[in-house]
Chain A
Amino acid sequence: MLAVIHTLQEFMTRTKGIVYLLILAYLIGFPLWWRFLNRNNKDD
């Protein structure tokens, strides 16, 4: 499945690309998780 990686540049392009997508997801998920954490103790 994984194409053969020949150069460091190719390797970094692939890995950093995926990392940036993960960052995007994380930044969206974090506030949602925070709201989920504080959902029930409304009065706090």
Chain B
Amino acid sequence: MSTDTGTVTTPEAAPLPADGGSGTPPRRGILTPFNVIAGLIILLGAWLTWQRFTGGLGAISHLSNNQPWGVWIGFDLLTGVALAAGGYTTAAAVYLFGQKQYHAAVRPAVLTGFLGYALVVFALLYDVGRPLRLPYPFVISPGVTSVMFEVGACVALYLTVLFLEFSPAPLEWLGWTRLRNFMIKLTIPLTIFGVVLSTLHQSSLGAMFLITPAKLHPLWYSNYLPVFFFVSSIAAGMAMVIFEGTLSHSIFRRQVDPAHEEEHHAVIFGFAKATSLVLMGYFGIKVVGVAVSNNWHLLGTRYGLWFLLEMLGFVALPAFLFGVGVREKKLGLIRFTALLTVLGIVLNRLNVAIICFNYRLPAAQRYVPSWKEIGLSVFIVTVGLVAFRFIVTRMPILHDDPAYKDAH
């Protein structure tokens, strides 16, 4: 089995720095291209934040009374939560289903999940009219008939669960061993509680759109929406693990110790096979969704073609390519397909929230995001990347801390 690290031509893996990577890597000066761009984006973000909280929502967005939810909900929230599903899928696979061989993928996945959810809440602060009142549904006046109450509760709880699940890494970095060992003992119940919470809010994000059969296009509206959102989140999570693993193993290869490197391939092939399975199942139940509502005739309309593009191009195709990639052991193909699956999830969530929502409104009244909205989303993602880099280059994520050989 070829053991090289795929298409990225890497010099002989640099031996780990002597102090086990806990020291800061040799820095090539502050003005690396990534830092410059990230700095600019963060400045832009700061300006947009100022505009948002002085001029109100309308100052920087095209949100309107016809389309109250735009890119922040469609992309940052819906897609962010779906792509952060890697956390519970990997943790469940390793701890609950006994797939010890993917052990190396747990910490990066949990980190991605934690950052993903942190960004979702961060984005929510911008989208919600009164961010300081976010705890109101739980403390002041709960509206239990709303699906969003259930989503809010689960996202808040799951953010804490993810934080606790993720906490061993910083604790090892800080050296607080006693607390770290206690956290390690909590891993199993946290994972179980995490999977329960994830099932709930991944499906409930879909259930939120059950209340608007009149506005969401019948091809995307179905009583199965919660099931669709949950199953597609599993596929999204695993695809994101592959995609994020590829990126981090090449960008932060100095952090990766040989053991992780070795397991990385097993993770990619194992997850690719699992994702292919889930995607094919998802394709099946989506076709059932069309059949149950007898919407076959709608496939012949423009929205029907857009639906076919989403289903054939971004669900069936990746499932097929993953299968080929696993059988022929083609790493490059699997990485490309992982990206394709991630884009598929982005497309599906944007379809449900924006593109096929209010499908009966005349084109002139349809929502088009303003560049400032997209700018803010880019700013939020950049903040996430910077945090990711800060954590990965310091804490034992991609490698084990030698002091804790008994590691998880």
Mark A residues whose CB is within 8 Å of B: 9, 12-13, 16-17, 19-20, 27, 31
Contact = CB atoms under 8 A, between A and B. Distances in A.
Contact of B145 (A12, A27, A31): A12
B144 interface: yes
Interface of B: 142-145, 153, 189, 193
Contacts of A13: 143-145
A16 B145 contact: yes
Nearest to B193: A27
A17 B189 contact: no
Contacts of A17: 142, 144
A24 to B, nearest CB: 10
A36 B181 CA distance: 23
Contacts of B193: 27
A19 B189 CA distance: 22
Contacts of A20: 142, 144, 153
A38 B143 CA distance: 38
8 contacts: A13-B143, A13-B144, A13-B145, A16-B144, A16-B145, A17-B144, A27-B193, A31-B189
A13 B153 CA distance: 16
A20 to B, nearest CB: 6
A16 to B, nearest CB: 4
Nearest to A18: B144
A9 B143 CA distance: 10
B267 to A, nearest CB: 30
A17 B220 CA distance: 30
Among all A-B residue pairs, the 9 with the closest Cβ atoms? A16-B144, A12-B145, A17-B144, A13-B145, A20-B144, A16-B145, A31-B189, A13-B144, A9-B145
Contacts of B153: 20
Given A9-B145, A17-B142, A27-B193, 13 more contacts: A12-B144, A12-B145, A13-B143, A13-B144, A13-B145, A16-B144, A16-B145, A17-B144, A19-B144, A20-B142, A20-B144, A20-B153, A31-B189
Select the residue from A9, A16, A27 with max chain B CB neighbours within 10 A: A16
Nearest to B157: A27
A5 to B, nearest CB: 13
B157 to A, nearest CB: 9
A41 to B, nearest CB: 17
B75 to A, nearest CB: 30
A16 B153 CA distance: 14
